[in-house]
Structure 1
Amino acid sequence: MTELQMSLLAAGGVFIVGVFSYNKWQEYKAKKSVERAFAANHDDVLMKGPGEPRQEPVLDPSAVPAGRAEPVLDEEPVVKGTDPEATPDELATSLVDPLIDVLIPLQLEVAVRGDKILPVLQTLRHVGNKPIHYIGLAVSGDWEPVKHGGVYTKLQAGVQMASRTTALNELEYSELVTRLRTLSDDIGAEPEIPDMIEVMGEARNLHRFVAGHDAQLGINLMSNGAPWAISTLIGALEKQGFDVRPDGRFVMPDGEGGFLFSLSTNVTLAEETTSRLTLLLDVPCVAPMRDGFNAMVACAKALVQRLDATIVDDSGQPLVDEALAEINGQVQAFYDEMAQADIPAGSTRALRLFS
């Protein structure tokens, strides 16, 4: 027994020996994309100017939306950001993505019906906080999310290698393999398990990229006079176009079911007044074409007039137009970095990693 095996066993993990069975297209695309995207560490372009750290506005990597439990459905859950007009093959690729997922082929003994295997697949949808998706090669010749009425000759599972908080680790991967083998026995399949060491390396590289680009950009409004009454403030924010979500957040809709940026009153629900508001842009989750930063600045300037306020940085110093323009340039550079890594801001791939 090798030293590595002993250490993994001591930690409660199981060393899995397997082979990659990606087809040539997947292997080429995954390797080249990962090498190009994650070979080197990137500076956070929103944090640094030429040779010195940025002090403004607020950039809070710890302000991460709480994780959402994926509902148990009869068919493959729809991933946020997926194009509703995507072809079955495009949708399949967005669910089981060779750049951000571990791909695990499930070789079938005979063709299977979606109706029969869906209840079994629903028993394994997450490992840790990493989602697991399944696609199948239909008798039509297209890869598609497994669904009722479908008949499949091949299956493939994909587990996401990283999230905002963590990378897929050895214990999670061992749990996945153990449960996937049981699941495969139930549906008459044989999983082809990728090598743990290679998977862990790719997962850590991907998480390093995510952590380095987890940028949340905020600007503040400070009252020029008395604090605002929360009851009055709510009306003003609704007139400005904000929606109040069930969780109490104020968000600016993007017109397509999502939102551009959010707003915090910086006080608890028990407070009756506040003298400070913070608008927050989740940069990697908003596509460049939506121009989220300039939309947020325009909203802030409108609220300045409506509420008699001043736009300030986190230390309470006024933010002038020149500083805002400089920050906007850094946002554009950030978008360029993400696009070059094949994870464009606002794309399905980005939303999976950063939501």
Structure 2
Amino acid sequence: MSDLQISLLGIGAIVIAGVFVFNRFQERKFRRIADAHFKSKHDDVLLDSTANPEKSSLHIDEIVPKEEWRIEPKFEPEEPTFKQPHTEPKWSQEPIVEVKHEEEPIIQVTEEPKFKPQHQQHNEPAKAQQVDDSIAYVATLQAGETIITEDIALLLQQFAALGKPVHWSGQHMQTGAWEEISPAHPGEYEKIRVSLQLADRKGHLSEVQLDMFCDGIQNIAADLQALMDCPEKQPALQRAIELDDFCAEVDVLIGLNVLSHNGETLPATKIRAQAEAAGMKLQADGTFHLLNDDGVSLYSLSNHDEIPFSADNIKHMVTHGVTFLFDVPRAPGGIHTFNSMVTLAKQVAHTLNGDLVDDNRNKLDEKSIATIRQQLSNIYTKMDARHISAGSQRALNLFS
């Protein structure tokens, strides 16, 4: 044999030996990780009979969740007259009770306080919200080694397009504190919780959406050699349907209209003066909102005509009326807030010499207002029984 052949044989033997040693090292390392978890108090999902062994072959980008508007409730008292909800409400009409739909679901992975200290805006991730498993399907990941934000960056983007709100939180490796996971604040975590909301105003969580969610969790767990916990799917899907049915019963929007006499026009500057005197502020959506200290809208005032208000056009705009809107499940304060809106609507009607009317232009008297109050009381009783208080974080999440 030549020197070249002998050298090649020697190099091949060294490579084979290196691969064998590396495999033995990886095997011992994985055994140490597995032993550490088997000795802990946490249940091993791989041995849990309740774990879901199915793995979907569907992928996030293959299917766009179908929007299914649910049939919303309609009040039918003798007085006032209520309007049948429809899927595309236009604020130029005069709704008294209707469900407020949005063209796109508001999917928010993290929620940060409106006003934060300057140093937290740039240097500190937000403190994690408490995981609300009563309205969410919650999966967990726990790895033998650190999970960094970059490891799950792609999944963060994919889940954002899932069609239902997804919330990520992680237990920091050094501090042990739970914090929001965001690409803006890279972190190192020993455990991660991912919650998928069961229902919102677009409807309940579908089986396809849940399969895609679990598929993504399973894939990232395999990539990171992490232990995962995905609860059974069928009970979660049943809870989603029940929750959506309940939300349909209480998801209503109450409107009070102030219209001019005989088609006369009203100057928008006077409307602005009345709204701002009551503490309302013009927002980007073209309506005035009364906000509480947490920035949550209590009720709003919109132009009865089709053109929304703006800082520029309001100086020379005239209109035939305005509509006060009260989003029942989202507005904090319950009947007290509704009474505040009624009082302001009456003041505006008096100042502008207009009429407070329902959808059919029938004047709203005290008896009609009392009927609405009773219906609100019934709704709030149902919500409290399900521990979903109007204006609470749970309600804001569900009715988004």
| Length-normalised TM-score, structure 2 | 0.65
Q: Which residue of the partner structure matches residue 36 of structure 2?
A: none
Q: Write out aligned runs for 1:281-300 (5 A).
A: 281-288=326-333, 291-300=336-345
Deviations 1:296-337 (CA, angstroms, capped at 9, x unpaired) = 101101102221112111111111123213322332332222
Deviations 1:203-239 (CA, angstroms, capped at 9, x unpaired) = 1111111112111111111213522144554444344
Inter-CA distance 269–132: structure 2 relative to 1 (3 Å threshold): same
Unaligned runs of 5+ in 2: 1-47, 52-71, 83-94, 118-124
SS of the residue corresponding to residue 129 of structure 2 reads helix
TM superposition shift of 1:70: 4.7
In the alignment, does 2:291 pair up with 1:253? yes
In the alignment, does 2:161 pair up with 1:109? no
Of 308, 316, 319, the residue aligned with 2:364 is 319
In the alignment, does 2:249 pair up with 1:204? no
In the alignment, does 2:280 pair up with 1:242? yes
Q: Write out aligned runs for 1:181-196 (5 A).
A: 181-196=218-233
Deviations 1:153-191 (CA, angstroms, capped at 9, x unpaired) = 322211011111221112222222233333334544343
Inter-CA distance 335–253: structure 2 relative to 1 (3 Å threshold): same
Of 153, 156, 164, the residue aligned with 1:130 is 164
In the alignment, does 2:383 pair up with 1:335? no
Deviations 1:267-314 (CA, angstroms, capped at 9, x unpaired) = 222995432321110010012368220111011011022211121111
In the alignment, does 2:182 pair up with 1:160? no
Cα RMSD (Å): 3.6
Q: Is the 8 Å Cα contact of residues 80 and 351 (structure 1) preserved in structure 2?
A: no
Distance (whole Å) between structure 2 residues aligned to residue 289 and residue 20 of structure 1 = 41
Distance (whole Å) between structure 2 residues aligned to residue 344 and residue 279 of structure 1 = 22
Distance (whole Å) between structure 2 residues aligned to residue 350 and residue 249 of structure 1 = 22
Distance (whole Å) between structure 1 residues aligned to residue 335 and residue 114 of structure 2 = 14
Q: Which residue of the partner structure matches residue 110 of structure 2?
A: 77
Of 146, 165, 179, the residue aligned with 2:216 is 179
Distance (whole Å) between structure 1 residues aligned to residue 335 and residue 177 of structure 2 = 33
In the alignment, does 2:349 pair up with 1:304? yes
Q: Is the 8 Å Cα contact of residues 112 and 151 (structure 1) preserved in structure 2?
A: yes
Which one has the largest radius of gyration? 2
TM superposition shift of 1:91: 4.1
SS of the residue corresponding to residue 157 of structure 2 reads coil
Q: Is the 8 Å Cα contact of residues 114 and 295 (structure 2) preserved in structure 1?
A: no
Aligned length: 304
Q: Is the 8 Å Cα contact of residues 107 and 191 (structure 1) preserved in structure 2?
A: yes
Distance (whole Å) between structure 1 residues aligned to residue 232 and residue 351 of structure 2 = 59
Q: Is the 8 Å Cα contact of residues 172 and 188 (structure 2) preserved in structure 1?
A: yes
SS of the residue corresponding to residue 338 of structure 1 reads helix
| Length-normalised TM-score, structure 1 | 0.72
Distance (whole Å) between structure 1 residues aligned to residue 347 and residue 79 of structure 2 = 29
SS of the residue corresponding to residue 329 of structure 2 reads helix
TM superposition shift of 1:257: 1.8
More divergent stretch after superposition (149-158 vs 275-284): 149-158
Distance (whole Å) between structure 2 residues aligned to residue 342 and residue 89 of structure 1 = 26
In the alignment, does 2:261 pair up with 1:216? no
Distance (whole Å) between structure 1 residues aligned to residue 219 and residue 80 of structure 2 = 51
Unaligned runs of 5+ in 1: 1-17, 22-42
Distance (whole Å) between structure 2 residues aligned to residue 304 and residue 78 of structure 1 = 38
Inter-CA distance 89–202: structure 2 relative to 1 (3 Å threshold): farther
Q: Is the 8 Å Cα contact of residues 106 and 190 (structure 1) preserved in structure 2?
A: yes
SS of the residue corresponding to residue 296 of structure 1 reads helix
Q: Is the 8 Å Cα contact of residues 330 and 396 (structure 2) preserved in structure 1?
A: yes
Letter in 2 for 1:337: K
Letter in 1 for 2:134: L
Distance (whole Å) between structure 2 residues aligned to residue 128 and residue 277 of structure 1 = 37
Q: Percent identity at matched positions?
A: 26
Q: Is the 8 Å Cα contact of residues 128 and 180 (structure 2) preserved in structure 1?
A: yes
Inter-CA distance 178–187: structure 2 relative to 1 (3 Å threshold): same
Inter-CA distance 186–234: structure 2 relative to 1 (3 Å threshold): farther
In the alignment, does 2:81 pair up with 1:55? yes
Distance (whole Å) between structure 1 residues aligned to residue 199 and residue 386 of structure 2 = 15
In the alignment, does 2:129 pair up with 1:92? yes
Q: Is the 8 Å Cα contact of residues 345 and 356 (structure 2) preserved in structure 1?
A: yes
Q: Is the 8 Å Cα contact of residues 288 and 335 (structure 1) preserved in structure 2?
A: no
Distance (whole Å) between structure 2 residues aligned to residue 89 and residue 77 of structure 1 = 8
